[in-house]
Chains A and B, each alone.
Chain A
């Protein structure tokens, strides 16, 4: 069974204080690892897809990296508007392309 574990559950940063969120996964056959941002009361917003170990993707202050067992979402010099819950998910090679989500990291950036 595919599993995704995210840590920490919650993270509080001062504005400008860089940090990383962790996503550990086990999957029978990886067809993609996703990062999403979710604001309260809204659907998840897609950020990145990573496909193979060593791959990296960047978007503004966010950078996602992937190894064979985990992924990191690095946040450089965060701003208060980066406050949200960040979700990690994996798509396996199941017949209907099953996507399994972690429970998320709730990030709060304080001015």
Chain B
């Protein structure tokens, strides 16, 4: 069966520091992968999606970037975090019938 791993679970970072969140998927090949952000009181906002290695599309302009160095690995990064980058970050894998989510990373930028 397919599983999706996301880490770390929580992260507290100072403004201006770098960020790297990792997501890996098991049990499937060539998955469509997504990064969402969920801010308090708001819906899930799609940040990036990827249909294959090295193929990244961005939904909204922002301080973040994404990379897909391997088929089942998706990384969310920032060179310098802003206060507004705080939120709950979710990685997801798209099957033909539904979207499977990881457990999420709660990021607090102070």
Does chain A bind chain B? Answer: yes
User: How many of chain A's residues touch chain B, expressed as a range?
Assistant: 20 to 34
B106 touches A46 (CB 8 A): no
Contact flags A6-33 to B (C-beta < 8 A → 1, else 0): 0000000000000000000000000010
B97 within 8 A of A: yes
**Interface residues in B, total, Cβ within 8 A:** 24
Contact flags B53-73 to A (C-beta < 8 A → 1, else 0): 000010000000000000000
Which of B14-22, B42-50, B77-85 contacts the other chain?
Answer: B42-50
Name 26 A/B residue pairs within 8 A (Cβ), A-sorted. Answer: A4-B43, A32-B98, A34-B98, A36-B101, A41-B88, A41-B104, A42-B103, A43-B6, A43-B101, A44-B44, A45-B101, A46-B100, A49-B97, A87-B43, A87-B44, A89-B99, A96-B32, A96-B49, A96-B51, A99-B94, A99-B99, A101-B43, A101-B44, A102-B43, A103-B41, A103-B42
A98 within 8 A of B: yes
B90 within 8 A of A: yes
Smallest CB gap from B41: residue in A: A103
A104 within 8 A of B: yes
Q: How far is it, in angstroms, between the C-alpha of A99 and the C-alpha of B90 when the chains are bound?
A: 14
B43 touches A43 (CB 8 A): no
B87 within 8 A of A: no
Which residues of B come within 8 Å of A, CB atoms?
A: 6, 32, 34, 36, 41-44, 46, 49, 51, 57, 88, 90, 94, 97-104, 106
Minimum C-beta distance from B78 to chain A (A): 21
Sorted from nearest, which 9 A-B pairs have the closest CB atoms? A43-B101, A101-B44, A103-B43, A101-B43, A43-B104, A44-B101, A43-B103, A46-B98, A96-B49
Given A41-B106, A43-B90, A103-B41, also A98-B101 (CB < 8 A): no
A97 touches B32 (CB 8 A): yes
Contact flags A80-111 to B (C-beta < 8 A → 1, else 0): 00000001010100001111111110000000
